[in-house]
Amino acid sequence: MENLQAVKQRFGIIGNDIQLDRAIEKAIRVAPTDISVLVTGESGVGKENIPKIIHQLSHRKHAKYIAVNCGAIPEGTIDSELFGHEKGAFTGATQARKGYFEVADGGTIFLDEVGELPLTTQVRLLRVLENGEFIKVGSSQVQKTNVRIVAATNVKMQEAINKGKFREDLYYRLSTIEISLPPLRERGNDIHLLFRKFASDFAQKNRIPVIRLDENASKMLLNYRFPGNIRQLKNIAEQVSIMEENRVISPEILSQYLPNNTTNNLPALVGNSSSSSDFSSERDIMYKILFDMRNDINDLKKLTLDLMQNSDVEEVQEENRGLIQRIYDDQDFSNNVEVVQIPKSSSDNNYDFIETIEEDENLSLQEKEVEMIKKSLEKNKGKRKLAAKELGISERTLYRKIKQYDL
Ligand SMILES: Nc1ncnc2c1ncn2[C@@H]1O[C@H](COP(=O)(O)OP(=O)(O)OP(=O)(O)O)[C@@H](O)[C@H]1O
Ligand SMILES: [Mg+2]
């Protein structure tokens, strides 16, 4: 059997928590079989690693691995995405299309957020699980496929079943083996290992000095609840790395990055240090930028889905003229403009490009900041005081940024 440490290394999994180890060991053990696996755990605990391990350590590793986010596909098109459709099955279906279950024949499908599947799709899925049979939308011909299913959920499935939103028979089929991942707050020292790893990766990538928590800040991190788990810890490590000039982080500074930090038993921070009072307005700007970018990414996802499903590309382009213009206007996204030209018939994993956009986020963030500062300075004819006011940061911070970015 594969060695636990080797698997962790190969998949970039950090931590030695015993519950985490058990989960990975379970994945290693079931990998060579065809048994369905249900991965459970809160949002951001690393559920997506498990199906990757299972696929890579199985005899299916040379066939396709397709990850489907069931919550992100509109209800009206999910059957066609998963099982394909015949020409003329619905308005706009000018060509037959293979679904993921056909494309991934011999491989593995990861159904993320499986609790979000509509009931009608659940019926189709149950049939595939029971005898490997499915029918394309608009067809009457039964097809066969041999796909291993790993599903994941961060919702309580029992509740969904009780409410009639999820079929009990399907739940039992999917969860022959359940692998549950522990929340980050239960992983003890792994929290520090992960923080150091994220901080040093980020520093290296952006060529900035790495941040370090002082002793009390370390303790504070250990006691935080982390509702967003590892994803949140990573964000925190990166935010602190960008925003803080002083590379040794005190609990006073750290606590500002931990929303609803109820376990904080240090005296409340009074706004007497100028660096920390700058901080909240800077953070507001960063949040606004992040928020705008997230909206753009969501719009892009939707646009691309439309393009993949709608035969009339021009119509979709017309409807999304504003967004497309913004993409062209925006240098940050110019490398990803091919998104708009993804062939409709592409049957590969359609989510790849979305990851590309996310990888570029860090860089774009800085560029956005520079751009905002430049625009504001131009608009205010170089008057720093006015520009700082408009940007919602102090003059001192603006001065620092001008120097930092050599504006
Ligand atoms: N043990 C770990 N070591 C290093 N990175 C990790 C670890 N676990 C998770 N991550 C990283 O944390 C982030 C969140 O993980 P992932 O997307 O798998 O969460 P999830 O459980 O699928 O969450 P959701 O339910 O919200 O989809 C990813 O960037 C992942 O690479
Ligand atoms: Mg996930």
What is the pLDDT at residue 172?
96
Average pLDDT, the chain: 84
Minimum mean pLDDT range among 71-80, 98-107, 300-309, 320-329: 320-329
Q: Residue 52: CB within 6 Å of ligand 1?
A: no
Distances (CA, A) of 260 to 27, 257, 263, 283: 34, 9, 9, 16
Sort strands 65-69 and 108-112 into parallel, antiparallel or unpaired: parallel
pTM of the predicted model as reported, rounded to 2 decimal places? 0.68
Q: Give the residue, 305 or 267, on which the prediction is more confident.
A: 305
Expressed in angstroms and rounded, the spacing between residue 265 Cα and the centre of ligand 2 is 33
Expressed in angstroms and rounded, the spacing between residue 193 Cα and the centre of ligand 1 is 15
Residue owning the nearest CA to atom 18 of ligand 1: 46
Run of H or E residues at 227: none
Q: Do domains 4-182 and 185-255 have the same CATH topology?
A: no
What is the pLDDT at residue 361?
56
Minimum mean pLDDT range among 29-38, 192-201, 380-389: 380-389
Q: Residue 182: CB within 6 Å of ligand 1?
A: no
What is the pLDDT at residue 146?
98
Ligand 1 site-directed mutation target among 231, 238, 351, most atoms within 8 Å of CB = 231
The sheet with strand 108-112 has its strands ordered as 65-69, 108-112, 148-153, 37-40, 177-180
Expressed in angstroms and rounded, the spacing between residue 160 Cα and the centre of ligand 2 is 19
Q: Residue 179: CB within 6 Å of ligand 1?
A: no
Instruction: Give the closest residue to 251 by CA, choosing from 262, 270, 266, 229.
Output: 266
Query: What distance in Å separates the CA atoms of residue 151 and residue 50, rounded to the nearest whole number?
Result: 10
Choose the most confident range, by mean pLDDT, from 220-224, 373-377, 390-394: 220-224
Q: Residue 212: CB within 6 Å of ligand 1?
A: no
Expressed in angstroms and rounded, the spacing between residue 151 Cα and the centre of ligand 2 is 10
Q: What is the pLDDT of residues 382-407, one digit of tens each?
A: 888 888 888 888 888 888 888 888 88
Architecture in CATH for domain 185-255: Orthogonal Bundle (1.10)
Ligand 1 site-directed mutation target among 7, 9, 48, most atoms within 8 Å of CB = 48
Give pairs for 4-8: CB < 8 Å, separation 24+: 4/28, 7/53, 7/57
Question: Which ligand has its closest atom nearest to the C-alpha of 228?
Answer: 1
Q: What is the pLDDT of residues 314-359, one digit of tens each?
A: 666 666 666 666 555 554 433 333 333 333 333 444 444 334 444 4
Expressed in angstroms and rounded, the spacing between residue 233 Cα and the centre of ligand 1 is 10
Sort strands 248-249 and 97-98 into parallel, antiparallel or unpaired: unpaired
Give pairs for 311-314: CB < 8 Å, separation 24+: 311/92, 311/93, 311/94, 311/95, 311/344, 312/92, 313/344
Choose the most confident range, by mean pLDDT, from 22-31, 299-308, 349-358: 22-31
Compute the average pLDDT of residues 100-109.
Answer: 97
CATH (residue range 4-182): 3.40.50.300
Query: What distance in Å separates the CA atoms of residue 46 and residue 49, rounded to the nearest whole number?
Result: 6
Q: pLDDT exceeding 90 applies to what percent of the chain? A: 60
**Dihedral sign, CA of 387, 389, 391, 394?**
positive
pLDDT of residue 1 exceeding 70: no
Ligand 1 atom with the smallest distance to the CA of 153 is 25
Query: What distance in Å separates the CA atoms of residue 242 and residue 87, rounded to the nearest whole number?
Result: 51
Q: Residue 196: CB within 6 Å of ligand 1?
A: no
Domain positions in the chain are 4-182, 185-255, 277-346+357-405
What is the pLDDT at residue 147?
98
Query: What distance in Å separates the CA atoms of residue 383 and residue 103, rounded to the nearest whole number?
Result: 59
Expressed in angstroms and rounded, the spacing between residue 224 Cα and the centre of ligand 2 is 22
Query: For the chain, how many helices (H) and strands (E)?
Result: 19, 11
